[in-house]
């Protein structure tokens, strides 16, 4: 397979949705895409660009050249294979160990283990995928970054999530050029792009092009890949596992809420935390802050001082923000307690230009079977991925609809990692 066989043109819709899922930026552009369609899916060589806001100064534009191999009928666990060389990768390994994030140790493959680190919460299923042929193919090329996402793999020379925002990215040689401190350029020229494509196809094909590989991996574990990941995090996840236990919403919890009489009582703690508990800390800060500043402003205004207006303005703004937070909290609580459980099906997922805590937000449209208008909910990347998986195979789901406002509701199934489909 040669780059000359690729056609310049738009990336197929399903492949584009999966490709976007690899990037956290709200606004991302794909330039110069070249695509090869074939019976297994499609291969894409594309230049990617996005903007990252700086925490201590102006932000910068990031550019990468990547290969994405989309296999819509493949069912693989999520995992990354990352070269160990470089200070950023060393830091990543240290942080992962401190948090107790599970990883896969290939004790019987010392050469592979010296060159690569495998990050995954699906240790058992990924071990099945990394057989002799797969490892030999990966070792046969220059060090690459692989991000397997269940329906494909993203391959790049430099990491798309670690080297982009640091000036040390020049350490990757000609691949990391900095222009005026405002651009991180990991783009490749024509010859380098061809080499990346050839290496990606050679290294990833034993996993990505074998329709039976995913079946063998899935058969090696009990339940779905999501359930395997939950078990591993809970049993060996250290700090990460303990945090997961506090927030994990299980299928059993959802089933009990779905059938409970209204108004619902005994809401599981994890559901309450997800629905409204996360707004407690902002309220504890914003309300006293607003009251204090507004009080100072009123006191100064009584004394006829002009300095009163900045204090009043800041105080009122803080109280208004608190009001919006409190309203959001009460609406979600009302939906959990009084919302009607309605059957439906996922009919659309559309990524927006908004992020919350660096997580891209998508519009998920659910057609309900109660005769009401379709429900549109805005959720993060993980629920969006789950919704796309449902559209591919089993779109049936259910929602909680506000009995007082038909257009308002919650897609509560999207909160459950355990219910994620392969």
For residue 337, which of 387, 265, 391 has the smallest C-alpha distance?
265
User: 58 vs 165, 220, 271, 294, 301, CA distance in Å?
Assistant: 12, 48, 39, 33, 38
Strand partners, 379: 362
Residue 159 lies in a domain: yes
262, 332, 379 from 327: Cα distances, Å: 21, 9, 18
258 part of a folded domain? no
Out of 191, 219, 247, a domain closes at 219
Position 107 pLDDT exceeds 90: no
- CA 371 vs. chain centroid, Å, equals 33
Report the distance separating Cα 109 and Cα 344, nearest Å: 48
Whether residue 93 sits in one domain with residue 214: yes
Based on the domain organization, do 69 and 120 belong to the same domain? yes
CATH number at residue 369: 2.40.50
On whether both 280 and 158 belong to a single domain, the answer is no
Instruction: Tell me what the mean pLDDT of segment 199-205 comes to.
Output: 95
Same domain, 48 and 167: yes
Same domain, 115 and 31: yes
Q: Which of 2-16, 221-235, 400-414 has the lowest mean pLDDT?
A: 221-235
- Least Cα distance to 368 among 335, 401, 339 occurs for 401
What pLDDT is stored for residue 86 in this prediction?
A: 62
Most confident of 28-32, 34-38, 101-105: 34-38
Predicted pLDDT of residue 39: 93
Tens of pLDDT, residue by residue over 145-194, are 999 988 999 999 988 874 443 333 333 333 344 444 566 778 899 999 99
Does 308 reside within a domain? yes
Supply the pLDDT for residue 169: 32
150 and 201: one domain? Answer: yes
The answer to whether residue 246 scores a pLDDT higher than 60 is yes
d(CA 147, CA 68): 9
List phi, psi (to 5°) of 227: -65, -35
Domain assignment present for residue 237? The answer is no
Q: What is the mean pLDDT of the chain?
A: 83
Tell me the average pLDDT across 329-354.
Answer: 90
Q: Is residue 157 part of a domain?
A: yes
| Number of separate domains in the chain | 3
pLDDT score for 44: 96
Q: What is the pLDDT of residue 196?
A: 94
Tell which of 316, 335, 354 closes a domain.
Answer: 335
In a domain, 240, yes or no: no
Domain assignment present for residue 226? The answer is no
Percent of the chain with pLDDT over 90: 34
Whether 8 and 84 map to the same domain: the answer is: yes
Q: What is the pLDDT of residue 197?
A: 94
pLDDT tens for 348-377 read 999 888 888 778 889 999 999 888 889 999
Its pTM stands at 0.81
**Angle ∠(279,21,422) on CA atoms, nearest 5:** 95
Residue 366 is predicted with a pLDDT of 93
Domain span including residue 348:
339-419
pLDDT at 204: 95
pLDDT in tens, 36-85: 999 999 999 999 998 877 666 667 788 999 999 999 988 899 899 999 87
- In this prediction, what percent of the chain has a pLDDT beyond 70? 85
Within this chain, do residues 283 and 144 fall inside the same structural domain, yes or no?
no
Mean pLDDT of 271-294: 82
Q: Domain ends where: 293, 311, 335?
A: 335
The answer to whether residues 125 and 194 belong to one domain is yes
Q: Does 25 share its domain with 98?
A: yes
Distance CA 300, CA 278 (A): 35
Co-location of 35 and 91 in the same domain: yes
pLDDT number for residue 418: 65
The confidence band for 215, taking pLDDT boundaries of 50, 70 and 90, is confident
Identify whether 255 is part of a domain: no
**Confidence band (pLDDT; 50, 70, 90) for 416?**
confident
Higher pLDDT, 122 or 161: 122
pLDDT band of residue 272 (cuts 50, 70, 90) is confident
Give, in order, the Cα–Cα distances in Å from 134 to each of 84, 108, 130, 203, 212. Answer: 18, 14, 5, 7, 14
Counting every residue written for the chain, the total comes to 422
Do 157 and 24 belong to one domain?
yes
Query: pLDDT value at position 199?
Result: 95
């Amino acid at each position: 397979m040669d780059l000359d066989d690729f056609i310049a043109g738009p990336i197929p819709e399903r492949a584009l949705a999966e490709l976007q899922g690899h990037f956290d930026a709200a606004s991302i552009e794909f330039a110069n895409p070249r695509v090869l369609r074939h019976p297994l899916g499609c291969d894409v060589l594309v230049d990617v660009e996005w903007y990252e806001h700086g925490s201590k100064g102006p932000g910068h534009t990031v550019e990468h050249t990547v290969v994405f191999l989309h296999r819509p009928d493949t069912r693989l666990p999520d995992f990354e294979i990352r070269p160990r060389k470089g200070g950023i990768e060393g830091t990543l390994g240290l942080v992962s160990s401190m948090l107790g994030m599970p990883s896969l140790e290939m004790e019987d493959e010392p050469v592979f283990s010296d060159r690569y680190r495998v990050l995954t919460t699906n240790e058992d299923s990924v071990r099945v995928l990394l057989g002799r042929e797969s490892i030999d193919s990966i070792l046969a090329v220059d060090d690459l970054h692989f991000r397997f996402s269940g329906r494909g793999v993203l391959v790049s020379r430099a990491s798309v999530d670690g080297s982009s925002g640091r000036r040390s990215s020049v350490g990757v040689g000609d691949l990391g050029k900095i222009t005026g401190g405002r651009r991180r350029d990991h783009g490749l020229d024509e010859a380098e792009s061809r080499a990346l494509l050839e290496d990606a196809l050679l290294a990833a094909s034993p996993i990505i092009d074998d329709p039976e590989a995913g079946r063998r991996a899935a058969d090696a574990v009990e339940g779905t890949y999501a359930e395997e990941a939950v078990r591993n995090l809970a049993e060996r996840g250290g700090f990460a596992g303990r945090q997961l236990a506090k927030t994990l919403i299980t299928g059993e919890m959802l089933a009990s809420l779905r059938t409970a009489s209204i108004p619902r009582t005994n809401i599981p703690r994890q559901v309450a935390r997800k629905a409204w508990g996360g707004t407690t800390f902002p309220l504890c800060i914003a309300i006293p802050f607003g009251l204090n500043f507004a009080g100072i402003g009123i006191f100064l205004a009584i004394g006829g001082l002009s300095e009163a207006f900045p204090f009043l303005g800041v105080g009122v703004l803080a109280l208004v923000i608190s009001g919006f937070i409190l309203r959001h909290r009460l609406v979600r609580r009302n939906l959990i307690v009084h919302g009607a459980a309605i059957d439906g099906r996922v009919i659309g997922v559309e990524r927006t230009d908004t992020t919350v805590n660096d997580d891209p937000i998508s519009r998920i449209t659910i057609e309900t079977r109660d005769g009401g208008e379709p429900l549109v909910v805005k959720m993060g990347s993980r629920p969006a991925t789950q919704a796309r998986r449902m559209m591919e195979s089993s779109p049936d789901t259910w929602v909680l609809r506000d009995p007082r406002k038909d257009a308002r509701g919650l897609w509560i199934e999207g909160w459950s990692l355990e219910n994620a489909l392969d």
